[in-house]
């Protein structure tokens, strides 16, 4: 059994998260288009700068750092992941889908800009993500890595990943699901992009095959743990804490891990996945404090 990370590490980690979040926010700001119609750019900017933990880009940065690569080698790839994440939030919130009014503590994109612009702003963020990966690949020696990263990102976002997960999630409303079904939805809807964040960071940092396998296993485990904790927070928190309507999953009869396993069972599953994730890192032969700390943060976060 791993020791829990120390108080000191926690302070360092919080500083790391704050610094990287600022770095990502600045980079995302600079990647936004400076021409094109104002309405859609405003909507993109609104959703992109509405806050958020920047977990996916920070995972990519942390993996690259673990493998000895600096921010400049991976920051744009990291941002592409957040662009895909933000597009998916905008489209998932649409009246035709989850019909959500609140996201990250603010009115959702379509509530502010209307449905048409929200659809287009989502489309534009998804498109921009791949444009950013192409831009990353224009620098010498990066083309092959960019192609692999584009393929990973496409797979994570596509019908066997996020889009497929959203379809299953919509189909599941009001229906009782088994644990394997809930796991499948979680892996596709949330896990796929978290895994891609780890893998894309690793590709940008020239990871070897063995490293990719280990990091991929780490990513799969923390992805599911993250989703379980998300479900738990939906049950246990207030709307103010969450920045989106609390209890929304229950209200819409969405299948969740706590609904099937109970809150205690869900919590201990998340902890077991956390331990599996950090044990996987043992074989990496790299300094793993950062990835261990991030895994801990995901599972023991308050909101």
Query: Which residues, numbered 272-301, are part of the site for its own copies (CB under 8 A)?
Result: none
The residue (of 164 and 258) whose beta carbon lies closer to its own copies is: 164
In the shown chain, the binding pattern of residues 170 to 209 toward its own copies, with x for contact by CB under 8 A and - for none, equals xx--------------------------------------
Kindly give, in sequence order, each residue whose CB lies less than 8 Å from that of residue 81, ignoring residues fewer than 6 positions away: 56, 57, 60, 129, 153, 193, 196, 197, 200
Give exposure, 86-108, as e/b (b: 16+ Cβ within 10 Å).
bbbbbbbbbeeebebebbbebeb
Give the nearest distance from C-beta 50 to its own copies in angstroms.
19
| Residue 12, H or E segment | helix 7-31
Cα separation of 66 and 84, whole Å? 24
The residue (of 147 and 232) whose beta carbon lies closer to its own copies is: 147
**Nearest alpha-carbon partner for 205 in 197, 289, 151:** 197
**Nearest alpha-carbon partner for 220 in 192, 201, 244:** 192
In the shown chain, the binding pattern of residues 14 to 43 toward its own copies, with x for contact by CB under 8 A and - for none, equals -------------------x-xxx-xxx--
At 53, give phi and psi (nearest 5°): -80, -15
Give the one residue of 1, 3, 8, 138 binding its own copies; rule: CB under 8 A: 138
**Nearest alpha-carbon partner for 266 in 280, 256, 275:** 256
What's the alpha-carbon Rg for the chain, to the nearest Å?
Answer: 18
Q: How many Cβ atoms are within 10 Å of 11's Cβ, its own excluded?
A: 10
Site stretch for its own copies (CB under 8 A), options 21-29, 158-166, 233-241, 289-297? 158-166
Tokens of 130: 């791949």
Give the nearest distance from C-beta 233 to its own copies in angstroms.
25
The residue (of 165 and 223) whose beta carbon lies closer to its own copies is: 165
Give the one residue of 160, 178, 239, 268 binding its own copies; rule: CB under 8 A: 160
Q: How many Cβ atoms are within 10 Å of 179's Cβ, its own excluded?
A: 13
In the shown chain, the binding pattern of residues 223 to 242 toward its own copies, with x for contact by CB under 8 A and - for none, equals --------------------
Give the nearest distance from C-beta 199 to its own copies in angstroms.
13
Give the one residue of 27, 157, 273, 298 binding its own copies; rule: CB under 8 A: 157
Site for its own copies, rule CB under 8 A:
33, 35-37, 39-41, 44, 87, 91, 94, 96-97, 114-117, 119-120, 122-124, 126-128, 130-131, 133-135, 137-138, 143-144, 146-148, 150-151, 153-155, 157-160, 163-164, 166-168, 170-171
């Amino acid at each position: 059994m791993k020791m829990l990370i120390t108080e000191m590490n926690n302070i360092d980690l919080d500083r790391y998260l704050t610094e990287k979040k600022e770095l990502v926010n600045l980079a995302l700001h600079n990647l936004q288009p400076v021409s094109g119609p104002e309405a859609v750019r405003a909507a993109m900017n609104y959703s992109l700068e509405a806050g958020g933990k920047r977990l996916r880009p920070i995972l990519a940065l942390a993996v690259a750092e673990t493998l000895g690569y600096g921010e400049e080698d991976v920051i744009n790839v990291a941002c592409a992941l957040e662009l895909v994440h933000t597009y998916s939030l905008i489209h998932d919130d649409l009246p035709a889908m989850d019909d959500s009014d609140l996201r990250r503590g603010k009115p959702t994109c379509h509530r502010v800009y209307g449905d048409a612009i929200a659809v287009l702003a989502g489309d534009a963020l998804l498109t921009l993500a791949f444009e950013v990966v192409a831009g990353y690949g224009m620098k010498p020696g990066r083309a092959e890595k960019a192609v692999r990263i584009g393929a990973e990102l496409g797979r994570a976002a596509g019908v066997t990943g996020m889009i497929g997960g959203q379809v299953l999630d919509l189909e599941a409303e009001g229906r009782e699901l088994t644990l394997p079904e809930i796991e499948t939805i979680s892996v596709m809807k949330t896990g796929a992009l978290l895994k891609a964040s780890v893998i894309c960071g690793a590709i940008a940092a020239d990871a070897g095959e063995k490293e990719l396998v280990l990091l991929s296993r780490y990513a799969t485990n923390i992805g599911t743990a993250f989703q379980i904790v998300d479900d738990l927070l939906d049950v246990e928190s207030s709307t103010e804490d969450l920045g989106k309507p609390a209890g929304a999953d229950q209200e819409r009869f969405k299948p969740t891990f706590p609904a099937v396993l109970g809150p205690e069972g869900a919590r201990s599953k998340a902890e077991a996945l956390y331990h599996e994730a950090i044990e996987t890192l043992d074989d990496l032969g790299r300094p793993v404090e950062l990835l261990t700390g991030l895994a801990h943060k995901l599972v023991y976060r308050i909101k």
